Amino acid sequence: MSKKANIELIHELSLAFGPTGCEDEVARLIESKISHLADSIKLDRMGNLIARMTFGNGSKKLMVSSHMDEVGFMVTEICEDGYLRFDTVGGISGSVLAGRRITLGGKDGKVNGLIASKAIHHKSKEDREKVLSAEKLHIDIGAANKEEAERYAEIGSFATFCSEFVLFGTNERRVKSKALDDRMGCAAMIEVMGALAKNRPSVDLDVYFCFTVREEIGLSGALTAANTISPDFALVLETTAIGDIANTSPEARVADVGGGGVLSLMDRSTIYDKAFVEFLLNTAKENDIKAQIKRYVSGGNDAGSIHKTGVGVRTAALSVPTRYLHSPACVASLDDYESLRDLCEAAIRNFDSKL
The residues that are catalytic are: 215
Q: Read out DSSP for 117-137? A: ---GGGS-HHHHTPPPPGGG-
Q: Is 144 exposed, middle or buried (0-12, 13-18, 19+ CB in 10 A)?
A: exposed
According to DSSP, residue 36 is labeled T
Distance, CA of 338 to CA of 348 (rounded, Å): 16
Q: How many Cβ atoms are within 10 Å of 317's Cβ, its own excluded? A: 30
Residue type, 311: V
Residue 105 CB contacts under 8 Å (≥ 6 apart), including other chains: 17, 19, 22, 111, 157, 158, 159
Spell out the residues 6+ positions from residue 301 whose beta carbon is closer than 8 angstroms to its own: 67, 215, 219, 236, 238, 267, 269, 270, 317, 319
Separation in Å, CA 83 to CA 114, 146, 234 = 10, 8, 44
Nearest CA among 155, 160, 141 for reference residue 96: 160
**DSSP annotation of 292:** E
Q: What is the rounded end-to-end Cα distance, in angstroms, of the chain?
A: 28
Q: In 10 A of CB 333, how many CB atoms?
A: 22
